[in-house]
Amino acid sequence: MNAQLDTQETEVQDLCEEIGDILQAAFDLLIGRRDRQYADAIEPLDAERDTLEQESASIGEARRNLERLLPAKAREAQRAADALLLAGKHEEATAKLTEAKDAANAPAAMTERQREISARIEAIEREKKTIARRIFETWYADAQHVIRTTEHGLFVTLLNGVEDSMIDFQTRTGTTSPNGLTGGLFHSGHVAGLTAPERSDEYRSAGRWYGGRVR
């Protein structure tokens, strides 16, 4: 008899552990899938952003170096153009001055490219936020489905079912209260005792989620 009771107790403990494992697995699945989907979706955007940031940094360094050299390059180009003019090579002199002018305009073009890069990086961050919202909404619907299924299992199937079964057991065994109020096998304390006591983590969490919602 004792061996049979021990076996039954072990079965109950195993069932409790299995329920806990299922809930943990459901949580891990929901969180893991959400985070993987987001990471996969933004991976190419992050790669593009990194490339753009490296390009912008390179442009910035090149622009600063060029700006330091431009005055000397302009003087050198002017001297070369003057020499070409004195030699009667007007076209070559004009080309030399045009080359110097293009070099002088290069920093402005570099700055414009950096502005384009900054604008694209901002657009990337907006795209990432859009992706995050889309993934969150899909994930939220999945989480809601899992949680509400679990709620139904706990409150309707298990808690309501156990309460109904206590009443049924009391009736079938003839252990009801003679006056219908006290003295029976089953009383209100049994219902309250099924769930975690006040000031427990479970009680506080239930108050957080259900407080004020029950009518």
DSSP letters, the chain, are -HHHHHHHHHHHHHHHHHHHHHHHHHHHHHHHHHHHHHHHHHHHHHHHHHHHHHHHHHHHHHHHHHHHHHHHHHHHHHHHHHHHHHTT-HHHHHHHHHHHHHHHHHHHHHHHHHHHHHHHHHHHHHHHHHHHHHHHHHHHHHHHHHHHHHHIIIIIIIIIHHHHHHHHHHHHTT---TTSSSSSS--HHHHHHHSPPTTSHHHHHHHHHHTTT--
Is the pLDDT assigned to residue 63 strictly greater than 90?
Answer: no
pLDDT tier at 82, thresholds 50, 70, 90: low
Closest C-alpha to 56, from 119, 125, 123, 127: 119
pLDDT tier at 5, thresholds 50, 70, 90: very low
Name the residue with higher pLDDT: 215 or 30: 30
Contact (CB, 8 A) for 53 and 121: yes
pTM of the complete model beyond 0.85: no
Report which residue type is found at 54: Q
Give me the pLDDT at residue 215, please.
Answer: 47
Give me the pLDDT at residue 103, please.
Answer: 67
Name the residue with higher pLDDT: 64 or 160: 160
How does the average pLDDT of the chain come out, rounded?
85
Give me the pLDDT at residue 3, please.
Answer: 53
Q: Which of 73-77, 100-104, 139-143, 207-211 is the most confident on average?
A: 139-143
Is the pLDDT assigned to residue 86 strictly greater than 80?
Answer: no
Maximum Cα interatomic distance, the chain, rounded to a whole number of Å: 130
Least confident of 67-71, 133-137, 162-166, 194-198: 67-71
The whole-angstrom distance between residue 202's C-alpha and the CA centroid of its chain comes to: 26
pLDDT tier at 199, thresholds 50, 70, 90: confident
For residues 90-106, give the mean pLDDT. 71
Neighbours of 203 (CB within 10 A): 13
Give me the pLDDT at residue 8, please.
Answer: 62
Is the pLDDT assigned to residue 44 strictly greater than 90?
Answer: yes
